[in-house]
Structure 1
């Protein structure tokens, strides 16, 4: 079952964000607090949205998708950028990840959004194979750039 996240889900979402960061070998970079996540999802001006995957058997939360709106100047409409998609390792293969992506695709279609986009680490072969099995294609002509920490402060200061 897929449902919209509630404020009560923030602790488990935060825990799964940390699990994902650990899987991606970057736990040391996952500094967001539960309070920050709560504000981003449920504050006065939400910056992001989340959906929860619950097990049909026992109702346990087994995964989540956290996303926000982007905008295409070429298409003139919003799209969804999927920041995190995570299903706990012992629950993978049960269709939860596909159900989460299906829900985001449904939202795109319903609202007239023309893109559902995300990034995946080059070494994450199981996820790449999963995404490609759904019809997703890599945008390998683009390279992602990022400013953080000292470089961001220097440019912005």
Structure 2
């Protein structure tokens, strides 16, 4: 799994011009799920996401989203599992749709179990979404699951 985490002043997601979710200060998280990902990977990323010190309190970079009681907007994004083959993108590392949908649902459930469920929002899995982000900082980080480093050599990005 790969997370692209952006600290935001606000963020929203719409489908067919209909607002699905909107948050204020917090994190917008793009979630990519690969065919190598496991339940343990998902739990690892939830723990990292909730405890990453991305915000200021009395010291710089010393508070997590949980410490600040901010909101989280998650967006499923299979394109994070890309590879280049020459100049063309390939997505063969992405998990099959139904399994990915289940894993993403488990990811959201685990977030809600580990944090305040009223502060966890998401888009529509598999839909074409318009995501609006007002980046705060800007601060953008990525977190890869442990399985990302265990991929076979032929799975490494090719130029």
Task: Tell me the TM-score normalized by structure 1.
Answer: 0.29
Structure ranking higher on relative contact order (CA contacts 8 Å, 6+ apart): 2
The structure with the greater share of residues assigned to strand is: 2
The structure with the greater share of residues assigned to helix is: 1
